[in-house]
């Protein structure tokens, strides 16, 4: 029986432990904190609980549009909201503990470090397993000049612990965390200003997706300042001031620093094991997630490959399978979907249009607006679209991009097709249920291949120009 030791109990570590134990390995899981990692305790789960509460609150605000009459004031209570997500986090945490017990995983509460290439030290004991998985995750990034104190200027970890919400907030950053919190806080009545260093929000998403997000944020009253790289933040009696060089470009009662995350690769004994990190502090790994030491793997945020919880879990399973000598399926990073719980939701997988262009690929685009769907009107959410990028020569699906209701669910159709190197024609030939938002995927694919059923007849293509793929 092989013995695996795992440093870190987040979505990489505890999933690795569960998977390894289920396939006959002896597993030791080491973490100084409760299992579940940032995802469960400060990230994915508590924020999504808030997202659902805010979505319900926004529905209530528009009750008249749904033919409903609601009397009395409807408002959010921050203390109650925190109580709800803490209760859910606690329940899910207990579930992970029970899962480990069910699989006879030895869980050690402590801070583990590599003592050499084959030994881990934790709580005055040493462990010498057959293989080691480093799954220590990441933490919010904040430069020295941002003066993060946790109470007035904080990171995403700090905000969820605030006893109350400010009247106004500056959000420094323009990525997933920044945009999700902007929508949450706006729904909860906070005056939100985003300060972005670049020319658009969510620069990792397709440019058309960014346009819709920015438009919807403007409608909500969220202010966005573009092309402004903050060099320092300061706070006094009047609130927080954001400086770009020597100029104050924005002020608010508090600030949220959401400029990315950095790997937890320090003080875990990498130097004693001769394991390399890059200039960002990411542990260097190969496609099997092996470090410089073949029996030591690094998966999840700590290797800098993705930064997504579900990607960390997928990497963990592959690494475990390889370490145990089992058949494994390589993680296709292009096929990992991204889900962003803004309002409206954003999701994408594969290449964006710009990436296809940069890669020198010949491609066609298909696009379908949600406002043409009956389901979108029933939901009262008609802003958004589905867009597909299709290889012109072969018809393979290169990318799927969605913005609007249920985007984070329908993206998996594209993920499956890309994972299987499938073609857009496979999606066109798949019957989609009516009335659903997923119908927009079918229509977008039809648009790419020739003519969408519910889109005005195109003058750009004749019938014999419709792309045909075997």
Please tell me what DSSP assigns to residue 374: H
What is the per-residue DSSP string for 3-18?
Answer: EEEEE--STTHHHHHH
| Three-state helix/strand/coil letters over 133-195 | EECCCEEECCCHHHCCCCCCEECHHHHCCCCCCCCEEEEECCCHHHHHHHHHHHHCCCEEEEE
**Tokens (6 digits) for 184:** 């949450």
Given 19, 412, 434, 454, the catalytic residue: 434
Helix (H) or strand (E) holding 419: helix 407-419
Number of H helices, E strands in the chain: 13, 23
Report the side by side order of strands in the sheet with 338-340. Answer: 338-340, 346-350, 397-403, 385-391, 363-369
**Residue 251: Cβ within 10 Å count:** 15
**Residue 199: Cβ within 10 Å count:** 10
Percent of the chain as helix, strand, coil, to the nearest 5: 35, 25, 40
Helix (H) or strand (E) holding 367: strand 363-369
8 A C-beta contact, residue 421 and residue 397 = no
Report the C-alpha dihedral over residues 367, 406, 46, 147, rounded to 10 degrees: 20
User: Does the annotation mark 434 as catalytic?
Assistant: yes
Q: What's the CA gap between 182 and 86, in Å, rounded?
A: 21
Q: What's the CA gap between 196 and 180, in Å, rounded?
A: 14
Buried b (16+ CB within 10 A) or exposed e, 289-304: bbbebeebbbbbbbbb
Active site (catalytic) residues = 434
């Amino acid at each position: 029986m092989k013995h695996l030791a795992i440093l870190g109990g987040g979505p990489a570590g505890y999933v690795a432990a569960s998977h390894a134990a289920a396939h006959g390995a002896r597993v030791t899981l080491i973490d100084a904190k409760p299992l579940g990692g940032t995802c469960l305790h400060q990230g994915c789960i508590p924020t999504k609980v808030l997202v659902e509460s805010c979505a319900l609150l926004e529905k209530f605000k528009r009750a008249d549009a749904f033919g409903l009459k609601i009397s009395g004031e409807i408002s959010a209570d921050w203390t109650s909201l925190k109580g709800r997500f803490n209760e859910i986090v606690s329940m899910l945490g207990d579930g992970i503990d029970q899962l480990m017990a069910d699989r006879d995983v030895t869980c050690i509460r402590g801070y583990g470090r590599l003592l050499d290439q084959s030994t881990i030290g934790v709580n005055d004991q040493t462990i010498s397993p057959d293989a080691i998985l480093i799954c220590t995750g990441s933490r919010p990034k904040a430069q020295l000049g941002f003066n993060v104190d946790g109470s007035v200027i904080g990171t995403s970890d700090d905000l969820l612990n605030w006893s109350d919400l400010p009247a106004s907030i500056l959000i420094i950053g323009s990525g997933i965390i920044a945009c999700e919190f902007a929508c949450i806080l706006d729904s909860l009545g906070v005056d939100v200003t985003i300060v972005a260093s670049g020319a658009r929000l969510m620069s990792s998403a397709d440019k058309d997706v960014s346009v819709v997000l920015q438009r919807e944020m403007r409608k909500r009253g969220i202010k966005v300042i573009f092309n402004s790289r903050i060099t320092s933040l300061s706070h006094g009696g009047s609130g927080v001031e954001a400086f770009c060089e020597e100029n104050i470009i924005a002020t608010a009662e508090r600030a949220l620093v959401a400029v990315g995350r950095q790997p937890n690769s320090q003080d875990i004994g990498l130097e004693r094991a001769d394991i390399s990190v890059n200039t960002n502090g990411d542990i260097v790994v190969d496609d099997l997630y092996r470090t410089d030491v073949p029996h030591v793997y690094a998966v999840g945020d700590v290797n800098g490959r993705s930064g997504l919880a579900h990607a960390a879990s997928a990497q963990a399973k592959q690494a475990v399978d390889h370490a145990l000598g089992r058949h494994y399926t390589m993680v296709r990073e292009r096929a990992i979907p991204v889900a962003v719980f803004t309002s409206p939701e954003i999701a994408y997988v594969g290449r964006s249009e710009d990436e296809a262009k940069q890669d020198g690929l010949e491609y066609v685009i298909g696009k379908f607006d949600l406002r043409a769907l009956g389901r979108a009107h029933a939901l009262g959410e008609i802003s958004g679209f589905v867009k597909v990028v299709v290889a012109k020569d072969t018809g393979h699906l290169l990318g799927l991009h969605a913005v609007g209701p249920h985007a984070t669910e329908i993206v998996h159709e594209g993920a499956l097709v890309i994972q299987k190197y499938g073609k857009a024609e496979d999606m066109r030939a798949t019957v989609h249920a009516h009335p659903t938002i997923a119908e927009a995927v079918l229509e977008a694919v039809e648009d790419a291949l020739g003519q969408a059923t519910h889109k005005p007849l195109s003058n750009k293509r004749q019938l014999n120009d419709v792309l045909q793929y075997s």
